[in-house]
Structure 1
Amino acid sequence: MNRFYHTSENKIILTGDTFTIKEQIKKAGGKWDAAQKNWWLIQSEVSASLIKELGFSLLINSNDRNSHLPEKNEDQQKNSEKLNVENLPDNKAMSVTHFVLLIEAIIRKNLSEKYWICGEISSFKSTNGHVFFDLIDKSAGNEFSSLSLRAASISCILWANKKTQLNEKISKILFQDGTRIKVLVTCDFRKEGSKINAIIDDIDIQFTQGELALQRIQIIQELKKRNLYHKNKQLKLKEFPLKIALITAENSRACADFYDELRISHISFQITLFDCNMQGEKTSENVAHALKYITLNSHLYDCIVITRGGGSRLDLRWFDDLNIATQIALSPLPIITAVGHFDDTSIADEVAYHCEKTPTAAARFLTENILFHLNTFFSRLEKMTSLLLKRTSKEKQLLVSLEQRLCHAARKRIESEKKQIKGISQVLKAFQSSISQTLLRGYALVYDDNGTLITGKDFLKNPPPHSLKLKFANDCENQHIFVDVSVNGINLKNDQPS
C-alpha cells in the first residue's frame, strides 16, 4: 500500500494515497496542509496507533534526531516498513512511487531551510487566487559558463493565502513578466510529475524597486544626453487651446471624466480621441504611434493630452518608457499628462509641458487657462473702454469749451460788425443826404448828337463837340459819379479855351 510517513519537529507528515482515508485522519485530529498537499498529525501514542492501523510505512531517509515516532513495541518495530536503498538486493528495484517518495524525503531533509533567490519573472499566470511563474536567470550562462547553464529557471508558486498576506508588498512592485524580483522560498517536491517548485514565503520589494529606479535613472540620463528632457517644456501653449488631441482609452473612466469637466465649462472645445492601451505591454507602442501621427498633423491641433485613470504606483512604470518620453519631447505641440497618481510622477510627466494628477485636473487646467485669458481680455477691454470714455468726456468738455468760446467770439464779432455797419450806415445816410442836396443844385449829364456821354476829358479835346444835350441828375436811372465843374465859357472856335 503506497502510504508513507515521516516526522518534522513534533508533527507526523502523511503522504501517498490518503484520499480514501481522509475521514479517519480527520477524526484522529489530522490537518490538511494545502500548501504542501499532505496531512499531518501531532506526535502521540494515538497517532502512532492510527498510522499502524492505516498501513503507513516510515521513510527511513527522513529521520533525524526529531524524526522518530514515540517509542514502539517490538511488534510495531518489526512490522514497520522502511525504505532504505542500501538494504535492497541488487536484483530488486524500487517502484516509481517508492523512488519518488524517497526523493521527496531527501529534499525535505536537506532543503528544509528557506532561501532568498532572485531572477526575472517569466510565464506569469494567476489561477483561483494562486500565482504561478518561472523565475529565470538569463545571466547564468556567463556566471557559470563551465556548467553550460543557459537561462536557468525554477517554477515558483505563490499560494492564495500567502498572496493575501503579501498584498501590500505586491502592490508596490510590478508583479508580471520581465520584472526582476527577490523572493524567500522553500523547496517543494511535487510527486505528480516529480517536479521541484519554489514556494514563495516573502518578497523583498526594495530589490525590485531598486531595479526599476536604476532603469528610470538610465532613461532620464539618455534623454538629457540627447537634449530632449526639457524640449517640450520650452514650447508655448496658445492662449485659447480649443483643438485638443486626446490620448486615452475610449471607454475608460478617465475619458468620461475629462469630457465631463470640459462640458461643465461650456467652452466649445474640439476633441480628437486617439484610443490607446494605457496599461500593459502595448502601452508604449500605442501611445508612441498616436504621438507620431499627431506630430505629422500638428497643424490640426493646439495641444495634446495624455490621460488615464488612477492606479497603483506600478502603473506608472508603463510611462517610464524611453519611446514614449522621446515622442513627447519631439512633439511640436505642448503636451499635458495626467496618469492618475498623486504620490509619484512618471518620466512622461517630467518630460511633458505640464502634468496633472487626474483627467479632471487636466481638463480644468485647460479651461482655467482659457478663462484666465478671457478674463484678461475683458479686463483689458474694460480698461480700454474706461480710458475711451474718459477721453471722450474730456474731448466733449473741450468741444463745449470751444463752442462757448466760438459763440462768445461770434457774438462779439457780430456786435462789432453791427457797430461798424451802423457807423457806415450813418455815413451813407449823411452822404446820401449830401448828394441829394447837391443834386438839387442842378447837376446834369452831357451827351453829344450821337448820344454818347461826354466826360470831362472830352472838353479838353480840340475841337469840342458842336452840339450838346443835357440830362439832369434827377432824371438818371443808373448810378453815375458826378463831378462839380465850373465852366466859365465855351469857345466854339478852334482856339484853346481861355
Structure 2
Amino acid sequence: MKILLNKQEQKIILSGNTFNLKEKIKIIGGKWDPLAKNWWLFLTNENLENLKKLGLSIEDHFDIKNLESPAIPTDSYSVTNFLLFINNIITKNLFHNYWISGEISNLKQSNEHLFFDLIDKEQASSNFNKTASIPCIIWVNVRKRLDSKLNQILFSDGTKIKILIRCEFRKEGAKIIGIIEDIDIHFTQGELALQRLAIVQSLKNKGLYHKNKNISFPSYPLKIALITAKDSRAYSDFINELSLSKIAFKITLFDCNMQGEKTAENIVSAFQIVAKNTFFYDCVVITRGGGSRLDLRWFDDFSIAEQIALCPLPVLTAIGHFDDNSIADEVANISEKTPTAAARILTDTVLHSYQFFFQKVDNITYFLLKRLAKEKNFILSLQEKCTSSALKRIQSEQKNLKNIEKMLKIIKSSIEQNLQRGFALVYDDANNLLQGKHFLSPTYSKNLKLKFAGDCENHYIFVEVLVKAVSESRESTELDF
C-alpha cells in the first residue's frame, strides 16, 4: 500500500503506508493524528518541496506555483487561525534541531515517557523570582535509544544537561514543547545538585548534619513553635489536624515567607527567637504546601540547615510533596511530607504517651491490688497462726497449772501428815520458815515460833529454844529442848 496525499483545508494529509518514512516526516515538521491514524503538515510551498524530496508525487494533487500561505483574515483572528498562523511561522523557521542547555526541574514519568522543565536559573529575572523555562519530553522510544547515556549521568531535578531538541507548537495551551532527540553526556550534574552536595558536605564537616537528629523527641510535644505562612493552606491543614485530636496544644506562629529571597532571612530570625526562649516550646515545626522543585529550592539553603542543626529543640519538617526532599528535611529530627502528616506525628506521639502513662497506672494499680490481697492473706494467715498458737499456749499453761496444783496438794497433804505426827514448822521472829541448814551456824539464838497441826490459824506458840546439837543422821533436824 503506497502513501496517499490529500488536501484538507490548509493541511496536507499523508495516509497509507507511512511507517518507513515516519522519522523523515517528523523531521520536516509532520504531526501524527492518533484519531485519524495519519500524518499531516501545513500546506506550504516548503512542505510540498520537502515531500517531493522524499520521493512523493505531489503534482497530481497540488499546484505549487499558485500555492499561497494559509489565508488569514486581516481584520481579526479566530483563536484557531491565529494559533495556526503562529504554528506555521514556527514550523517554517524552527524546523532544525537545536542544542540547548539548562537545569532539569519538575521531572516526572508517565507510561515510561519523561516530562520535565528545562530552566535557566542563571538568567532568572529579578521580577517575582521567575526563571526562563521550556517544557521538554523524552518519548519512550527515544528514551530506550538514549538509555545508555541516561545511565551515565544524574538525570534528576537540579541536573544541568545539554540536549538536542526539535520544537513543536501545541495549540492546546499555546506553548512550545521541546522534543528531545539526543543528550550530551559531558554535562553531568547541574549547578543545583552541585550546590546541594557542597552544602551537605559542609554540614557534615562541621558536625551539624546529624546534630538535631540526636535530640530526643519529647513524649508530650504540646508547646509548638510553628514556622509557616499564616494564610497558607499548609497552616490551615496543620491546625485543623491538631484540632481534631482534642488535645490542648499551644501553638506559637512565626509568620514567614516560605518562597522567595526572604525565605532564609525570615526562618533564621524565627529560629533565633526560639533559641532564646526554649522554655516556652517543646519542638519546632516547619511546614509549607507543595510546589515545583524550583519553588522548594529555597530550603536547600545552608543558613536554614545550620539553624535547624543548632536548634536546642527537635525540629519537625513537612515541606513539599511526597517526592520532594530538601536539605532542611535531611538535617531535621523528623521529616514528614505533608502538614497533615506532621500534625498527625505530634498527636500520635502525645496519645501514645498518654496511653503508655495510663497503662503504667493500670499496671501499678494491678500490682498494688495484688500486693494488697497478698498482704491481707498473709495477715489473715498470721492471725490464724497467732490465735492457734495462743490457744495452744493457754491450754499448755492451764495443764501446767493443774499439774502444779496437784503437786501443791501433794506437798500440802505431806506437810499436814507430818504435822499430825507431832512435827512442827519453825519460824523466826521475821516470820521466815527455817530449815535445818539454818541451825548449822555455831551459835544460833533467835526467837522462834512453832506451828503445830493442832494450832488454830494465826495462833502460834512462842517458846525459847536452845539448840544444843544437830544430828544429820535423820532427814529432819531434831532439836533438844
1:428 deviates by: 1.9
Contact 1:181/1:204 (8 A) holds in 2: no
User: CA–CA distance in 2 between the matches of 1:283 and 1:356?
Assistant: 20
Q: 1:252 to 1:183 in 2, by over 3 A?
A: farther
The residue aligned with 1:189 is: none
1:421 deviates by: 0.7
1:418 deviates by: 1.5
1:290 deviates by: 0.9
User: CA–CA distance in 2 between the matches of 1:301 and 1:219?
Assistant: 28
Residue 476 in structure 1 maps to residue 458 in structure 2? yes
User: CA–CA distance in 1 between the matches of 2:163 and 2:244?
Assistant: 48
- State percent identity of aligned pairs: 45
The residue aligned with 2:38 is: none
Residue of structure 1 aligned with 2:389, choices 391, 403, 409: 409
Contact 2:196/2:300 (8 A) holds in 1: yes
Q: 1:460 to 1:400 in 2, by over 3 A?
A: closer
Q: 1:380 to 1:322 in 2, by over 3 A?
A: same
Q: What do residues 375-400 of structure 1 show as CA deviations (whole Å, max 9, x unaligned)?
A: 33333443444444444444444444
Q: 1:184 to 1:453 in 2, by over 3 A?
A: closer
So what's the TM-score if we normalise by structure 1? 0.54
User: CA–CA distance in 2 between the matches of 1:326 and 1:33?
Assistant: 50
Residue 354 in structure 1 maps to residue 334 in structure 2? yes
The residue aligned with 2:229 is: 249
User: CA–CA distance in 1 between the matches of 2:432 and 2:93?
Assistant: 168
AA aligned to 1:335 is V
Residue 274 in structure 1 maps to residue 266 in structure 2? no
Q: Which moved more, 1:385-394 or 1:359-368?
A: 385-394
CA RMSD of aligned residues (A): 5.1
- Mark the structure with the bigger radius of gyration: 1
User: CA–CA distance in 2 between the matches of 1:124 and 1:34?
Assistant: 33
Q: 1:285 to 1:34 in 2, by over 3 A?
A: farther
The residue aligned with 2:215 is: 235
The residue aligned with 2:123 is: 121
Q: 1:385 to 1:339 in 2, by over 3 A?
A: same
User: CA–CA distance in 2 between the matches of 1:249 and 1:314?
Assistant: 18
AA aligned to 1:474 is C
Structure 2 unmatched runs, 5+: 1-43, 47-66, 102-119, 139-155, 168-173, 461-474
The residue aligned with 2:115 is: none
SS at match of 2:323: coil
1:409 deviates by: 2.9
Contact 1:121/1:133 (8 A) holds in 2: no
The residue aligned with 2:398 is: 418
User: CA–CA distance in 2 between the matches of 1:434 and 1:364?
Assistant: 102
Q: 1:461 to 1:340 in 2, by over 3 A?
A: same
The residue aligned with 2:320 is: 340
Q: 1:469 to 1:278 in 2, by over 3 A?
A: closer
Residue 324 in structure 1 maps to residue 304 in structure 2? yes
The residue aligned with 1:368 is: 348
Q: What do residues 69-128 of structure 1 show as CA deviations (whole Å, max 9, x unaligned)?
A: xxxxxxxxxxxxxxxxxxxxxxxxxxxxxxxxxxxxxxxx999978666653344669xx
1:309 deviates by: 2.1
User: CA–CA distance in 2 between the matches of 1:31 and 1:463?
Assistant: 164
1:280 deviates by: 2.1
Residue of structure 1 aligned with 2:480, choices 484, 488, 495: 488
Contact 1:232/1:331 (8 A) holds in 2: yes
Q: How many residues align?
A: 346
AA aligned to 1:355 is S
The residue aligned with 2:39 is: none
Q: 1:213 to 1:124 in 2, by over 3 A?
A: same
The residue aligned with 1:216 is: 196
Contact 2:166/2:179 (8 A) holds in 1: no
Residue of structure 2 aligned with 1:294, choices 264, 274, 290: 274
SS at match of 1:236: coil
Q: 1:427 to 1:331 in 2, by over 3 A?
A: same
Contact 1:324/1:348 (8 A) holds in 2: yes
1:168 deviates by: 9.9
1:344 deviates by: 1.9
User: CA–CA distance in 1 between the matches of 2:459 and 2:136?
Assistant: 134
User: CA–CA distance in 1 between the matches of 2:427 and 2:306?
Assistant: 120
Structure 1 unmatched runs, 5+: 1-6, 16-20, 41-108, 127-131, 136-157, 187-198, 490-498
Q: What do residues 346-389 of structure 1 show as CA deviations (whole Å, max 9, x unaligned)?
A: 11111111111111111111221222233333334434444444
Contact 2:137/2:179 (8 A) holds in 1: no
Residue of structure 1 aligned with 2:294, choices 280, 302, 314: 314
Contact 2:161/2:190 (8 A) holds in 1: no
Q: 1:365 to 1:31 in 2, by over 3 A?
A: closer
Contact 2:216/2:314 (8 A) holds in 1: yes
Contact 1:319/1:348 (8 A) holds in 2: yes
Contact 2:320/2:337 (8 A) holds in 1: yes
1:226 deviates by: 2.6
Contact 1:125/1:133 (8 A) holds in 2: yes
AA aligned to 1:488 is D
AA aligned to 2:283 is C
Q: 1:433 to 1:168 in 2, by over 3 A?
A: farther
User: CA–CA distance in 1 between the matches of 2:366 and 2:383?
Assistant: 25
Q: 1:429 to 1:378 in 2, by over 3 A?
A: same
Which structure has the highest helix share of the two? Answer: 1
AA aligned to 2:317 is T
Q: What do residues 235-289 of structure 1 show as CA deviations (whole Å, max 9, x unaligned)?
A: 2112222222111112322222222222232333232221111122211111121
Q: 1:258 to 1:412 in 2, by over 3 A?
A: same
So what's the TM-score if we normalise by structure 2? 0.56
